[in-house]
Amino acid sequence: MLFNSYIFIFVFLPITLLVFFGLARFRLTKVAVVWLTITSFYFYGYWSIPYLALMLISVVFNHQMGRAIDRAIDNVDPKTNQAKTLLWIGIIVNLLIISYYKYANFFISSLNSVLSTTITSPEIILPLGISFYTFTQIAYLVDAYRGETKGYKYDLLTYSLFVTFFPQLVAGPILRHDELILQFRQLRSFVFSHKNMALGLTMFSLGLSKKVLIADNLSPWVAPVFNNAEAVSFIEAWVGALSYTFQLYFDFSGYSDMAIGLGLMFNIRLPINFDSPYKAISITDFWRRWHITLSNFLRDYLYIPLGGSRRGELRRYINLLLTMLLGGLWHGAGWTYVIWGGLHGLYLSINHWWRKLNIPLPKLLAWSVTFIAVVVGWVLFRAKTLPDGMEILQAMVGMKGIVIPGEAQGKLAVLTKFGLQLQSWKDFVYLPEVNGSKFLSMVVLVGLTLCATLLPNTQQILQKLKPTWWWAAWVGVLASFCLLSLNRVSEFLYFQF
C-alpha cells in the first residue's frame, strides 16, 4: 500500500486513526497498541502475504535473540562469552536472509561472468522494505549486546510495533529502539492532539507535493537519457543527470516528510532524515544531511566498530572506504551501487585529507565541487549498467564533443572556433519539453536548484509555522491539488532498496 494512493489516504489512514484514538479515549491503550500493530501488518501484507510471513518470522526471531542476549549479559564469566556468540548468530541469520533475497542473483550473475558458467538464477522478488527492517533489527541486537536495552523488558507486542510501525516500515527512517518504543510507553502518545494532527497533516501534504508535483513529473525526463546512454549529447546528459538528482531527492525526502507527518498524527516523533543535502559545502556535510538515519547507522554500527579514526589516518581511509562500499551494496545488488559507494568512500577520504591541509575554499566553490561530485555519483547510482554510466559521464565532460543549442549563422556561431558544435533545438531528441519548449526544461532545473539550495526545508517551515486559517487554507489547496494529480500511482524510488 502506497502513501500516495487513494485507498491509503481515504480508507486505511482515517480508519486506523479513528480506532486508535477511540480505543485510547476509553483508556484501552494496550488494545490500541494491538490495533496499530495489526494495521501495520495489514499495511505490509497488502503488498504480499508470503513476505508478510517472512517479516513475522524475522520479528519473532530477533525479539527472542535480543532477550537471549539480555539474559546472557548477566553471565559475567568471560570464558563463555555467550552474549557475543548469540549476537553473531543473530547478525549472520539476518544477513543470510537479506543476502538470499537481495544478492543471490547478483552473486550468480557475477560468478557466471567471471567463470563463464551458466548457473541459472532463481526467480526472486525482493521483499518490500527488507533492507530497512533488517538493519533496524541488527541495530537492536547490537544495542542489546552493548547493554543498552537492559531494563526495558520489551514484550513481543511492543517490539513488533517498533519494527513494523507502518509510517517507517518500508523506507525508513531507520530507527533505534529508544527512538520509538519509549514514546509508545508514554500516556500522552494516546491522547489526541489537535496541534500534532495539524502539523502532521501539513508535513504529509508537503511531502506528498514533493512526490506528486515534482518527483513524478521529473521521471519522464530521466528515463530517455539513461535508456539511451550511448546516444546522448553533452546537454542531454547534464539534463538527465540533474533531473535524476532532483527526482531522487524530492521523491525520497517527500516520503520521509510523509512518514514524519504520519508519525505526528499518532503523537510519535520520527527522526529527521533529510536536512537540505544539496546545500552541503563538503561531502562530509552532505552525509550529515542526506539519509541521516542510514548515515548514523553506518557510523555507529560499522565505521566505529571497524576502528573509525582511532588507528591512524591510513586506517581511517580504509574504514571509510569499506563502510561506504557496504553502504552502496546495501542500496542494491549491482556493481553500479558498489562503485557509487566506493566513490563516496573516496570522496570522504579526500575530504578528511583536505581538511588536514587547512586550506579553506570559498563557499561558492566548495558548494559547486560538492554538488558536482554528488551528481556524478548519482549518474552511476541510476545507470542500468556500469558501461551506461560511463557513457553518460563521458558525454557530461565533453569526451563525445560539446554540442549546444544554437543556429550556425546566429550569435553563438563564434563558439565553433573553440571546438563547440551547434545544433537546432529539435535535434536534441532526449531533451524534455515544457509547454512545447525544450529551453524551459532547463529553466525548470535551474529553478529546482535554487529551491533546493536557497529555500527552507519542510522542518524549517514547520518550526516557523503559526497555525492560522490562512495557513490551513493554503495547505488544504495544496493537498487538494496533489490529490487531483494522483492520476497514476507510482512507487517511491527507495522502495526498490
* Catalytic residue selected from 63, 177, 331, 344: 331
Catalytic site residue 331? yes
Nearest-angstrom CA–CA distance, 97 and 92: 9
Q: Which residues are CB-neighbours of 315 under 8 A, at least 6 positions away? A: 307, 309
Radius of gyration of the chain (CA): 25
Beta bridge mates, 421: 403
Nearest-angstrom CA–CA distance, 90 and 142: 9
Give the helix/strand (H/E) hosting 403: strand 403-405
Q: Please give the grid coordinates belonging to residue 176.
A: 533505534
Nearest-angstrom CA–CA distance, 141 and 61: 11
Give the helix/strand (H/E) hosting 94: helix 82-98
Nearest-angstrom CA–CA distance, 69 and 49: 30
Cβ atoms of 51 and 127 closer than 8 Å? yes
In sign, the C-alpha dihedral spanning 169, 175, 177, 178 is negative
Nearest-angstrom CA–CA distance, 131 and 256: 16
Q: Cα separations (Å) of 71 from 75, 151, 366?
A: 8, 11, 51
446: left (phi over 0), alpha (psi -120 to 50) or beta: alpha
Give the helix/strand (H/E) hosting 404: strand 403-405
Task: Tell me which long-range contacts 14-21 makes (C-beta under 8 A, separation of at least 24).
Answer: 17/265, 17/266, 20/266, 21/190, 21/192
Q: Please give the grid coordinates belonging to residue 426.
A: 529539435
Nearest-angstrom CA–CA distance, 85 and 88: 5
Give the helix/strand (H/E) hosting 423: strand 421-423
Choose among 219, 301, 212, 221: nearest CA to 257.
212
Choose among 372, 293, 282, 370: nearest CA to 327.
293
Q: Which residues are CB-neighbours of 288 under 8 A, at least 6 positions away? A: 275, 280, 295
Task: Give me the helices (H) in 266-291, please.
Answer: 283-289
Query: By CB neighbour count within 10 A (0-12 exposed, 13-18 middle, 19+ buried), where does 33 fall?
Result: buried
Nearest-angstrom CA–CA distance, 440 and 424: 15
Residue carrying the nine cell digits 586506517: 315
Q: Any idea which residues carry the catalytic annotation? A: 331
